[in-house]
Amino acid sequence: AGRGLDGGTARKFRVGFAPDSRDALVKYMADKDLDPSVLKDSGLVRQTNDGPSSYDFFRGRVIFPILDRRKQVVGFGGRILGTKTPKYINSPETDLFKKGLTLYNVSNASKSRGSVSALIVAEGYMDVIALHRAGYTRAVAPLGTAITNEQINLLWRFEAEPVLCFDGDSAGHSAAYRAAMRALPMLKAGHSLSFVFLPDGHDPDSMVSM
C-alpha cells in the first residue's frame, strides 16, 4: 500500500506473500499430500545439508509470480520486507524456469501487441506494475540479470524498437550501456533499441507517481 498498489492491481499481477516461517509451505503442501520431490524440483523448498529436513526458499517476502507467454506460472520473485539483504531473490533455474529466456509481464506485453502503448523495458517488478497502472501496459523487465540475447530477440518479436528505461543512477546507466553493447552485433534491418535516461535518483515507478 505504501508503494501505491491497490487491491485490484495486486490481484491482476497475483502479488502474494510468503510468511516469515522456515516450513510454512512445507507443512501446507504436506497437508495437500503433494509429493515433496515436486517442491524440491521447483526450487520452492530446499534440503538441509546436514539432514533430511527441508525448508522454504521464500520467507518473509512479497511474492511476484513470473508467468510465461501462456500465462502459466514458471517461477517467482520475492522482495524482502525491511532492510535485510538480498532485497530481491528469484526462483532458481529449473526445467520450467530459465530467467535469461523470459521477461516479467511478458504475457501482457504479447497480449497488448499492436496497442498504442510502447513496449518499455524497466529494471524491476514494481517499475513494471507502476508503468502498467499509468497506462503503459506492455512494460516488461528482465529477471535480476543483465538483458540477454534471447530476451532482446523476444522483445523484437513484439516490437521493432522497444524502449529501455532503467533507473536514473550509475547502475542503471551501466545496464543501459551493457544492453547497447549486447544489441549492436544483433541489429538488423528494421530492428533496434531506444533508450530513455531518467533524472538522477528516479526510476520509472517514481517518475509516473510524480
pLDDT of residue 108: 84
What pLDDT band is residue 113 in, cutting at 50, 70 and 90? low
Tally the C-alpha atoms within 13 A of residue 108's C-alpha that lie toward its C-beta: 22
Long-range contacts made by residues 194-200, C-beta under 8 angstroms, separation at least 24?
194/161, 194/162, 194/163, 194/164, 195/163, 195/164, 195/165, 196/163, 196/164, 196/165, 197/168, 197/173, 198/165, 198/166, 198/167, 198/168, 198/172, 199/168, 200/168, 200/169
Query: Which of the 8 DSSP states describes residue 72?
Result: -
- pTM of the full predicted structure? 0.91
**59-93, pLDDT tens digit by residue?**
999 999 999 999 999 999 999 988 889 999 999 99
pLDDT of residue 191: 95
